[in-house]
Chain A
Amino acid sequence: MDPQPDTSRVAPRDPATVMRLARMGSFHQSRLSFMRVLLRRLKAENWRFDRPAFQIDDSGVGHAIYRLTGPTRAYSLVAFAHDLPPEQRSDRVIATAWDATFALFDGTPTKADIDRLSRNIPKQEAGRVRATELSVSRANRSVRLFDHVIQCLAQGKQPKDADVDAVGYLMRTTAVYGSGKLGAADRESIADRPEFAAPFQAEMLSVFLIRGFVLDLVEHLARVKGGDRAVALDPALRRRFGIGNSTGLGMAPFLLNHPILLNNWIAAREIGLARIRSLPTAQPQNIAAFHDIRARARQHIARWHSEHPVQQQKLAALNADLDQLDAYLTLHDLSDQNPWNRLWVWAETALSLEGQELLVSLLFEPHGTLVDDLAATMSADETEGFRIDGGMSIARLREILHDIYGWALETDWAAPEAQALVWYTSEEKLEPRLGNRHEEPVALYEQPLCPGRDAAALYNDISDEPGDAPVAAVLLRLPQHRHTVRRAQIAARYPYAEIRDNTIAADMLPIDLLRTKLSFFGACHFDPRSDRWVRINMFRNAPFPDELETLDFAGWTYPPLAGSVK
């Protein structure tokens, strides 16, 4: 039995430390990531996989159904494969055609459902779905790898590891819609199902099944091409393929628009870290497991490629961090008192942000019994923070503004670089965009996505109010601050709800917002294509749906060590 952590020893980290964009943009997937939570549940509950349809013709066009059946319900991915001319292949959310399109169906679809979906899903946003659909998504082929793998398999050969690792996926999704989008089921209507208790489980389930479909599709097309000579992928190599994803500004406002959810994600992670740091001693088997995962993490990082200079620098620092960590562990065998906390305190000054945040994930791996239960705390009902406490005094509101937005009260908002950017929605694309306040006429259309600037303005506008005045009276006069008062009151109750950085500064990197969210999904191998666009890999090294039962896949994100038997 593990020693119990004495959580009075180490408190969760200060929000002022954690909630900085540079740090959040260095988060890595962990045991608490939603893909990991999903696969643990599928395994623990013995979900069964089958493939009721695979009607794909020799040109790669048709539909397939991939179904997982759990204790009380079944879910079916309905996949449509298309023949897409290369000139129509676009990552952008505004594309109108894709190599494959998907719906996650609640239950098992009838023929009438398939007919209806076949008229709507290939059109994505231009189509319409119903509450029987939980997610709508689409994917494009990796031109580099898709045809190459078909070619190899058709000739009876396996593709080379290095070619697989250079891309890491055969298709990348360009949008995965859930929660009420395009007419699909609202989150509230399925949130009471145990399998959807953790966030984004339907979306992650969808992507997990998409990956299985895409690998089957490639092997099918290789058989069409190579006939008897064709071979299937070697199972271990097959698992090295994930599903790619390409994401831009559209996802960036999400964390700002869901403050309680953000709090719950970060709080779970911080509580997990504090529990491990509070352990008085380390169990030998946990030390061994930590060394194992550290070695596997090295391989994981070695397969992480990026051409973006910022990420290249971060990767160089991360590799140096891993060397430092090795050196620390040759000097410290973790047999002393509070070994995990000693390691952590050392890391806070010795490692880069990438390295520190990777260490959080590595510390979680041997400590599932201390961490996994926290997944159940990561959903949120944003309506809990919606009502404003109008009886609060202005004096108390000022206190909150000082406490949460102290950095913003000290910022010179008149400086051009402090308000260089404007978040707005474009008329043409109806998607979030970032414009330059000083060069484009977009300020009139600004979305409320800069809590710091708005908190400073609120603070300024209430400076003459008597401290005992109720917030209600002031809001009647100053309705423009209603949004910010709501946020401030939420942030006072949920310590990790608010990002402590300027989200409209000239040097703000939207990819930090994207990575934060994507790391909680369980994405890996962040590869920024610009400061506002990132490619990632999902479910790489994971088991396939038909392997859930037979495979032991603990810590699946980190590739198995050579020679180890899985």
Chain B
Amino acid sequence: MIWSLNEIDALCRKAAKGSGLSWGLAEEAGKAARWLAEQGMPGPTLLAQLLKRNDGTPYADLVPSEVDGVWTSAGGTLCPLIAGAALCDRAEKIANGADVTLARTAFPLLLAPYADAIARPRGLCIALTLQGTTLTLTPGGLVFAGDAVALLSPVAKTVSITIESQPKGAALPIRNGREIPPEASSVLHAFAHRTYAPATEASRAAGAGAGTSDND
């Protein structure tokens, strides 16, 4: 099924919240999935896989801390949503040339929307390099060099984030990012479902505040 970007944003936001992230981080997860879908990349699918992987993992195990210039997490694998938001919060430092290296990171492509949010408004190019493949966010769009499949990998040993003056590479192969496979959409719906309150007699009776009949 083809989704509107609005629907992708809303479902992914609710799913991220349902997985245990805070509302603020969930809002950014929704925007990240939407952005990837808009670029023709499987943002919602990657998000679904990430939420499954991290389901039940406490925030404290996922949150990055910096040791000797490298971001690591207590649990051993960084969450790209939490790390991505933290990168955005440090946008000025990164834009001023402070390179960042992330240790082992799950679904690294989910970092791209956050890197774009740093790069685009400042007219910069920012490169994400993982396993020999480089994805560069430029004000004119995305380019990549290396193995496109690596971008979709469930985990990268390291991801380096650098300002690039002369991005090299080719445009990404375009596909329909708004098409969400049924497996992914059912995972997202299941997580979103956790944010819905079970009906009670009181809620059924109150409804949205209307009467039941429209015959007047």
Contact = CB atoms under 8 A, between A and B. Distances in A.
B214 A246 contact: yes
Contacts of B210: 91-92, 246, 248, 529-530, 533
A194 interface: no
A438 to B, nearest CB: 12
Contact of A532 (B63, B195, B209): B209
Given A387-B88, A427-B193, A482-B25, A532 B31 contact: no
A508 interface: no
A431 to B, nearest CB: 6
Contact of A529 (B31, B193, B211): B211
Interface in A430-476: 430-436, 439-442, 444-445, 448, 471-472, 475-476
B58 to A, nearest CB: 12
Contacts of A426: 196-197, 199, 203
A433 B203 contact: yes
A181 interface: yes
Contact of B215 (A86, A441, A445): A86
Given A181-B6, A390-B88, A390-B91, A425 B195 contact: yes
A20 interface: no
Contacts of A445: 195-197
**Listed residue (A185, A186, A485, A530) with the most chain B CB atoms within 10 angstroms of its CB:** A186
A186 B82 contact: no
Contacts of B207: 92, 248, 429, 433
Contacts of A387: 88, 91, 117, 121
B4 interface: yes
A186 B202 contact: no
Contact of B208 (A179, A250, A485): A250
B164 interface: no
**Listed residue (B82, B208, B210) with the most chain A CB atoms within 10 angstroms of its CB:** B208
A386 interface: yes
Interface string B188-216: 00000101111110111011111111111
Interface in A122-136: 128, 130-131
Contact of B5 (A180, A480, A485, A533): A180
Contacts of B92: 390-391
A472 to B, nearest CB: 4
A148 interface: no
A89 B208 contact: no
Contacts of A476: 63-64, 86, 89
A315 interface: no
B90 A390 contact: yes
Contacts of B215: 86, 89, 143
Interface residues of A, number: 73
Contacts of B216: 142-144
Nearest to B62: A479
Nearest to B93: A391
Interface stretch (B16-24, B98-106, B166-174): B16-24
B82 A184 contact: no
Contacts of B148: none
Given A434-B206, A479-B21, A428 B199 contact: yes
Given A92-B212, A387-B117, A529-B209, A130 B2 contact: yes
Given A143-B216, A434-B206, A482-B22, A183 B89 contact: no
A174 B2 CA distance: 26
A444 to B, nearest CB: 8
A486 interface: yes
A388 interface: yes
Interface string B110-133: 000000010001000000000000
Interface string B133-159: 000000000000000000000000000
A23 interface: no
A209 B89 CA distance: 47
Nearest to B211: A529
A249 to B, nearest CB: 4
Contacts of A388: 88-89
A376 B208 CA distance: 33
Nearest to B7: A180
A510 B210 CA distance: 13
Interface string B52-95: 00000001000110000000000000000010011011111000
B4 A479 contact: no
Interface of A is mostly: mixed
B24 A479 contact: yes
A89 B92 CA distance: 57
Contacts of B3: 183
A442 B197 contact: yes
Given A90-B213, A442-B197, A482 B24 contact: yes
A95 B210 CA distance: 12
A186 B206 contact: no
A258 interface: no
Nearest to A250: B208
A115 interface: no
A250 to B, nearest CB: 6
A498 B182 CA distance: 39
Nearest to A478: B22
A140 interface: yes
B199 to A, nearest CB: 4
Interface string A497-532: 000000000000010000000000000000001111
Contact of A483 (B1, B22, B64, B91): B22
A188 interface: yes
Nearest to A424: B197
A531 B2 contact: no
Contact of A440 (B22, B89, B117, B203): B203
A2 to B, nearest CB: 40
Contacts of A533: 208-210
Nearest to A481: B24
B200 A441 contact: yes
Contact of B196 (A430, A434, A448): A430
Nearest to A142: B216
Contacts of B25: 479, 482
B202 A90 contact: no
17 contacts: A86-B215, A90-B212, A179-B6, A181-B4, A248-B208, A386-B27, A390-B89, A435-B200, A442-B197, A444-B197, A472-B86, A481-B24, A482-B23, A486-B24, A529-B209, A530-B210, A532-B209
Interface of A: 86, 89-93, 95, 128, 130-131, 140, 142-144, 172, 174, 179-181, 183-188, 246, 248-250, 383, 386-388, 390-391, 424-436, 439-442, 444-445, 448, 471-472, 475-476, 479-486, 510, 529-533
Task: Across the A-B interface, give the 5 residue pairs with the lowest CB-CB distance, nearest first.
Answer: A482-B24, A180-B6, A390-B89, A532-B209, A248-B208
Given A426-B197, A436-B202, A445-B195, 18 more contacts: A89-B215, A130-B2, A174-B214, A180-B6, A183-B3, A388-B89, A425-B196, A427-B199, A431-B208, A433-B208, A434-B206, A435-B206, A479-B21, A479-B22, A479-B24, A482-B25, A482-B85, A533-B209
